[in-house]
Amino acid sequence: MQQLNNAKVVRSWYMYDWANSVYSLVITSAIFPVYYKAVAVNNGSDIVNFLGFSIQNSVLYSYALSFSFLLVALMLPLLSGMADYTGRKKSYMKFFVWLGGLSCMGLYFFDDVSRLELAIIFSILASIGYSASLVFYDAFLPEIVTEDRYDTTSARGYSMGYYGSVIMMVACLVMIIKYEAFGFSGEGAATRVSFLLVGLWWIGFSFIPFRILPESIRVKDSTLGNTWSKGYQEIVKVWHSLKNLPDLKRYLLAFFFYNSGVQTVMYLAALFGTDVLHLESTKLIGTVLLIQLVASAGAAFFAR
């Protein structure tokens, strides 16, 4: 049985926050939305063609993210139940990390509005990879620390994520602003390379928790049909348990609305700043970076 509160294991758990948070800052909050808004134009118009339909570029982007969250909401309860039953949380986590990281790298090829479909597909896949990997990552917490350390361990993970994402963000901004010094033909080329770096960072640092986090005990009868059946049974069992926990039901409902609002702001703030407030890209990205620095200080404070 895995020893709880092992310092090496806990530090490896922190490192996945360090690894994945570059996606949430560079891809979802700052650089990619600004780049998308600049590239996804049709002869100077915000109305673009997507799969034969005419739609505003910012609306298309928000629909794509909503679709990715819908897919995650539909499949994650079943997948998490399957992971609990089979003891393959790490395997599921690895799959979604690779999906998210490679999708970020795929955004490098979005250099023109003619490749808009490619950008939207990779955006959806990256969002699914990120959200799904966090479900299995969070599920490791009760397996590595005692209950009295849940809060501090989680907060320290968040702070590591903020630190890592700020480092990557600053590196990408320097590369974009000083693109000539790095041998790029323009800001666009440097920006696309930043998407490659995000994918490499995400996948590369994920190897630390992959190597150190404990493997769960696997059941012997783990055929595909039985696994799906047991995954569904896990969902039913949890649902029945909630009937006897009215406070938890209210909390989950409240968290749903709270988190939906927060996620909407995080994912669409850059487009709002561009479309409605007409902020320059440098000011917009600078504001996001400042918010990130404040958030990192807050996470560090609560991790004490």
Residue bearing the bigger pLDDT, 304 or 179: 179
- Residue 21 carries which side chain, given as an amino acid letter? S
- Report the pLDDT value the prediction gives residue 250, as an integer from 0 to 100: 87
- Report the pLDDT value the prediction gives residue 225, as an integer from 0 to 100: 55
The pTM of the full predicted model, rounded to 2 decimals, is: 0.86
- Report the pLDDT value the prediction gives residue 168, as an integer from 0 to 100: 94
pLDDT over threshold 70, residue 185:
yes
In a domain, 2, yes or no: no
Query: Which residue's entry shows tokens 């995000």?
Result: 198
- Report the pLDDT value the prediction gives residue 277, as an integer from 0 to 100: 75
- Tell whether the torsion through CA atoms of 290, 21, 16 and 257 is positive or negative: positive
Most confident segment among 46-60, 141-155, 186-200, 244-258: 186-200
- Tell whether the torsion through CA atoms of 290, 294, 300 and 302 is positive or negative: negative
pLDDT band at 211 (very low <50, low <70, confident <90, very high): very high
Residues 6+ apart with CB under 8 A from 268: 33, 62, 65
In a domain, 103, yes or no: yes
In a domain, 290, yes or no: yes
- Picking from 14, 47, 38, the residue whose alpha carbon sits closest to that of residue 271 is 38
In a domain, 224, yes or no: yes
Most confident segment among 94-103, 267-276, 283-292: 94-103
Residue bearing the bigger pLDDT, 175 or 135: 175
In a domain, 295, yes or no: yes
The count of domains in the chain is 1
Helix residue ranges per DSSP H, 213-280: 224-242, 246-275
In a domain, 112, yes or no: yes
5: left (phi over 0), alpha (psi -120 to 50) or beta: left
pLDDT over threshold 60, residue 219:
no
Chain mean pLDDT for the chain: 86
Residues 6+ apart with CB under 8 A from 112: 39
**CATH number for position 112:** 1.20.1250.20
Write out the residue range of the structural domain in which residue 281 sits.
7-302
Predicted confidence (pLDDT) per residue in 88-100, tens digit: 889 889 999 999 9
pLDDT band at 294 (very low <50, low <70, confident <90, very high): confident
In a domain, 1, yes or no: no
* Cα separation, 224 vs 227, whole angstroms: 5
In a domain, 98, yes or no: yes
* Cα separation, 135 vs 133, whole angstroms: 5
- Tell me the mean pLDDT in the region 190-194: 96
Predicted confidence (pLDDT) per residue in 97-121, tens digit: 999 999 999 999 999 999 999 999 9
